[in-house]
Structure 1
Amino acid sequence: MKVFSCFLILTIIIQFSCKAQDAFEFVVLPDTQTYVEEFPEVYMKQMEWVCSQNNRFSFVLHVGDITQNNSVEEWHIAKKGFSLLDGKIPYCLALGNHDMGSGAGKFADTRNTSLANTFFPINEYVANSKTIATFPKNSIDNSCAEYHLIDEKWLVFSLEFGPRNKTIQWANALIKKHPNHKIIINTHAYLYNDSSLHDGDDWYLPQKYGVGAATGDDAVNDGGQLWEKLIKTNKNILMVFSGHILGSGVGKLVSKNDYGTEVFQMLANYQKNVKGVEKGDSGYLRIIKVDKKEKTISVKTYSPWLDTYKTEPEHEFVFNNVKTL
């Protein structure tokens, strides 16, 4: 009987391990700027819930605009929330236009990210995100984290608002050194709410902010340029996540890169002034599940504050037949 029991337990463990290797989940936090500014209780509820799911999620991405006014007070709140995840769930931060500037409320007039780097010191950030490289060195402005999931290696790049030419060069060089890794790009401004790339005559382009005046290696890039210079030319980039855009606040796009491989690109933003977010306190976030066995990437939208899901097609959907998984 003891032998049978041990065999049964071993079988369950093996089956569970195999199942665990088939899929993983992670969280994408859309712009929290107005939560941190006006509804800190909603933001903290988000972070408390994510923390409570530490055995479920492999990592957390923030698409940027962590704060609204890039102020000391708001960064204190932002740090308090992410501190709950320290040592429990790795997290990667993309800095948005509201997370940089010469002073509080100066949205990306300059590429000054001193407060973000003060509240998230580089050594702590590297440890809490599993980062293997940053750009510029000793800053969190751009980072690359590595994870081992579903028996494969993944790189997650978190790129600044309006990634500069030299930032794209850094990312390209790092990707070339990891040709067998699967890659996720996390950045603030990339996709528009009509499910097209953020470029042309679209609102809120990086070029329209103060940082957009730079030239040469410091010149900024919008979504269309980022696709051409980075995403389209690398065969192992699988997903792209972004925020920034209002209106419906959502969009999705599947495009083939230069190698004929599909890239799954998503916009999510549920802050104040987004359509359907009446008071700006909805607290919705995205839950992404990557299933290697089923060859799917599924997306759900959930609010820990309201304890409810958005189930409309633009908020809950599945990408099927993902051949690169």
Structure 2
Amino acid sequence: MSPSQPRQSSSPGESGQPGRRRLLQAAVALPAAGTAVLATGGTPAQAATAARSGRFDTESPRFALAVLPDTQYLFDADSADPEPLRATFRYLVNQRKEANVAFMTHLGDITEHGTRDEIDLAADTFDLLDGRVPYSVLAGNHDIASGDDQRGNSPYLEAFGPRRFASAPTFGGSSPDGYNSYHLLRAAGRKWLVLALDWRTSAAGLRWAQGVLDAHPTTPAVLTTHDLVWADDDGAAHLSGNGQRLWDSLIRGNDQIFLALGGHYWPPGRTVLKNDAGNDVHLHITNYQDRYYGGAGMIRLYSFDLARDVIDVETFSPWFLARDAADRSPLEAETVELTGDTDRFSIAIDFDKRFQGFAPLIPPTPRPASAVMPRGTVAYWRFDTSGAAMPSADSPVPDGTVVRDLSGNGNDLTVSRLHSSGPQALTFSTDHHPGQPAHASLRFDGGRNPDRGAILATGPRAPLNSEKFLHGYTIETFVRLPDPFEGNHAWMGILSWQGRNGDAGKTTGWSPLEPTCSLNLSPERFLQFVVYPERQDADPTSWSHALPVGRWTHIAVVNDGRRTVLYVDGSKIARNPAQRSTGIATLGKPFVLGATQFDEKFEQGFYGWMGDTRIVARALSPRQFMTPSD
């Protein structure tokens, strides 16, 4: 047969038409409690109880959708062997917490002939998932005799119809005929819909499916069916006849459907089509029954990462994976993991933008200052009208403008420009970090050649000037670097205390002329937090990775009275010194936003945006930061 033709198995009753996330190492770990019970002959109820220790995290931005294609050759009359599928199900139960598996969906052709014996054996095998990992199934052409979803009763419907899922927490309902169903699951902090459609959905079934979508208009949907697309040998997928019907009658007109998955044909492949709203719909064929051992219960993990706006796809056989590598036969070693372009890949999706048409984001409202001042707050500045009399957006902030310390401790900041800097050295902006309490910021235009910038400094008698922080501290701010990041901005300061560390009796640093505490940016855009502690003659310094340009970043410096840890976007960086660090050797001189002194002289100023800034006289946990999780 020519490479342009799809390959599929024949149906006993109906002719078909032609038509990175690496988690594998986890499978060779010791089994989780639930799997151990099953492996030693425990009852499913005992395994379900044991497996509860590995709960799925509904709020994590990362979760996995497991996709199981045609398993028909594992349930083929007297040559059936369900063990590969049992291994797959044990893997999903075992790894549910590790991989954060939200759901598993089968793409049809569970069995080869759809006989009662084959169906009953398959149903018994699926019992391993019940109560442990929610899932959906749908009928392929090998699971039923013929016809569309109005065919009436069948062994498949008796075993895998609505009664099987009635008590499942994700089960939303089924069409009146029982062959189409939908599931609602919560993952990454929102609801998702899985629509499982029969091999041949009737006009009545399509009306039912449209009703489900209409009833959940803001819920992203994944459509699963058996016959959707077929692929060339190069992996380029094309709508089949049934797929074209589904596309025209259901998929293209419902923007909620962003991913559609089918089996039936081989080889695997994928394509992207534009729907009526002009948005991408990803259509994939997944089928490995032509591979060794009928596909060996091979699964795909679609690992959604809403933090990175990507879906990482990986294909492997848990049955082969569970064996010692030295004991795998040549074909097992060849099939344990598939790494071709159609089997392992990533899909870039800006989820917020993709879902905007039917589920627009509601931006958070500003939070009052009182909501973000925990015990021990010594200073809190924000640049909206609650903190100062600000000009209109993009207008210069005049010298002499006072930004009040909303903690009430008297650490107000006053604006001044460096050197002969003009009005644009500091402007007011409505741009802000999406999780920032106040919806405003200051835009600094500092730089070298010539040196220019602007600062905000406390007054000569502000309490913050002499605060020693002997019991710890947390310093937070929000910054955004311009894109493109043009000009010479090496070692620009973000914040600092004035005063030479040599005047505080410190002898160990790079120079006795640098300030006692500063947060700076290196030429590579690495954050540098250097502090001269009050109690030690030392200069422990934290270094971050390169800060991104063009987007907001939250920065937190946390000291617990013993050592300092720098966090970027709530994540602890690697290069935090183990050196002891107690307090800050302040000298009674002003605290400054927007620059760092050397030998008590300012050179360049900060280049970028700066938002809410807070200082607390104790160590806070990431959950207490100014971001929405506080």
When the two structures are superposed, what TM-score results if normalisation uses the length of structure 2?
0.42
Cα distance between partner residues in 2 of 1:133 and 1:76:
23
Partner of 1:285: 299
Within 5 Å, which residues of 2 pair with 1:214-293?
222-246=242-266, 248=267, 250-271=268-289, 274=290, 277-293=291-307
Separation in 2 of the partners of 1:87 and 1:19?
16
Once residues 86 and 248 of structure 2 are traced to their aligned partners in structure 1, the CA distance between those partners, rounded to angstroms, is 37
Is residue 146–residue 153 contact of structure 1 (8 Å, CA) maintained in 2? yes
Tell me the equivalent position of 2:347: 319
Aligned pairs (5 A) from 1:1-325:
21-37=60-76, 38-55=80-97, 56-101=100-145, 111-120=151-160, 122-128=162-168, 130-136=170-176, 139=178, 141-194=179-232, 195-199=237-241, 222-246=242-266, 248=267, 250-271=268-289, 274=290, 277-307=291-321, 308-322=336-350, 323-324=353-354
- Secondary structure (helix, strand or coil) at the match of 2:181 reads strand
Q: Cα 1:19–1:124, aligned 2, differ >3 Å: closer, same or farther? A: closer
Aligned to 1:24, the other structure's residue is in SS state: strand
Q: Which segments of 5 or more consecutive residues in structure 1 lack a partner in the other structure?
A: 1-16, 102-106, 200-221
Residue identity matched to 2:165:
Y
Residue 229 of structure 1: how far off its partner (Å): 0.6
Rounded Cα–Cα distance in structure 2 between residues aligned with 1:121 and 1:227: 25
Render the CA deviation track for 1:242-298: whole Å, top value 9, x for unaligned: 10013x2x0111111111111111101111xx2xx1442533211111111111112
Q: 1:4-51 deviations in whole A, cap 9, x for unaligned?
A: xxxxxxxxxxxxx99952121021000011012233222222222222
Q: Name segments (4+ residues, structure 1) moved above 4 Å.
A: 17-20, 107-110
Q: Give me the CA root mean square deviation.
A: 2.2
Q: Please say if residues 65 and 97 of structure 1, whose CA atoms lie closer than 8 Å, have aligned partners that are also in contact.
A: yes
Is the 1:99–1:108 contact (alpha carbons within 8 Å) kept by the matching residues of 2? no
Q: Is 1:91–1:129's contact at 8 Å kept on the other side of the alignment?
A: no
The alignment of Structure 1 onto Structure 2 pairs a total of residues equal to 274
Alignment-mate amino acid for residue 72 of structure 2: Q
TM-score between both structures, scaled by the size of structure 1: 0.79
Structure 2 residues not aligned, in runs of 5+: 1-55, 322-335, 356-630
Indicate the structure with greater helix content: 1
AA matched with 2:65: F
AA aligned opposite 2:61: D
Contact 1:100 1:112 in 2 (8 A): no
SS in 1 for 2:182: strand
How far does the alpha carbon of each residue in 1:105-131 deviate from its partner, in whole angstroms, 9 at most, with x for none?
xx5599355212222352331323622
Specify which structure has the bigger relative contact order, considering alpha-carbon pairs within 8 angstroms and separated by 6 or more residues: 1
Distance 2:118 2:156 in 1: 10
Change (3 A) 1:21 1:174: same
Q: CA deviation at 1:54?
A: 3.0
Query: What is the CA–CA distance in structure 1 between the aligned matches of 2:349 and 2:101, rounded to whole Å?
Result: 23
